[in-house]
Structure 1
């Protein structure tokens, strides 16, 4: 019996496990805990993420009709029951027209974090255009979203973009920008008392731009919908908070 095909199949399977994939294309990400006494500034959060965490790619093209792939990466950790998240983006053009909280930020150059803390299909969609305008809603699917109060978002979620906060029309040419976020567990209003440490959750990370010169829809974990649709919790990956 020729053992080479078996060895090859075993190697492919082992590599898939090592990269965090299961047979259902379920990527797994371990979120490191960073110890820090007291409240960390956004600059401290950025520096600690840079020095203590790994880069992860948002690079999957799920729909052939939208083949543009800007470079999109992120770092993530948790500390003092807060999620720390930093995005790194390089793209051909940038757009930032939306300035209203809970506005259509996905039309602009946008990064997103969809988070299902209980892994039960009910999730929060955190969306930010490239100047940090936020959108936050909760529910079990696209058609049943409940927006979080604007005041709560502004009081609890910290965001800083290297592009500042002033809106602008689309700017062509190569652009690089970064965004640092602090999301406290207290902002997850439908999961009162949630503790991040030890939590096994579901999530996906996205980069999009509905109305940019080249519309694009990238994800961290594969999305197997027929058309662009990030509101598909069945395609979230696994996120383990150490």
Structure 2
């Protein structure tokens, strides 16, 4: 042997059925000018969670190549649900479901598996905050609290196959939520007051100018009323925060 490549040599490709143990030929190719031959095969659904052996055979030389053993896993998918907004210091729940595809487009719950949960600020360092185990129906839940306001990334990973689900959420302080409510209440109250008064005056007088003036007065009155009512809620929120 001078080390030259075997050119135009027939190579047969085999796998061993994990159920029967029988060798199954799935392809044959001839070697190229470099002595290489390669093939591919799509993993079968009934190979899921099993070891499958592969090898090549050279019929012209009655020689088998080295056997390679591969672990075949099912395809998995992972869902994730979190609130759009959460309150700083208040517990919220991360939930979802882990499934595997046993047959094409046939998905089933994958129970008793651990998924890892990562929660960290956008642009920050990825940080694992805990893990959860899927139940009989494939679902998982995990409770967490964030300490700062901002936008966060929530990522769940199933290490078995690397299946990943990612969402984002916004964390706000309780008083910020109350302030936003006050502003919204003032605007909505003003609009409601303006429309109501303007429509009433126009129906009575059919005078557009008078109706417009009355509408502006209604807007101011409605804004004050809306802001006053929601400010009471804000004051209560502040008092509650102080007591804490």
Same fold (TM over 0.5): no
Q: Which structure has the larger Rg?
A: 2
Q: Is the helix fraction higher in 1 or 2?
A: 2
- TM-score normalised over the length of structure 2: 0.29
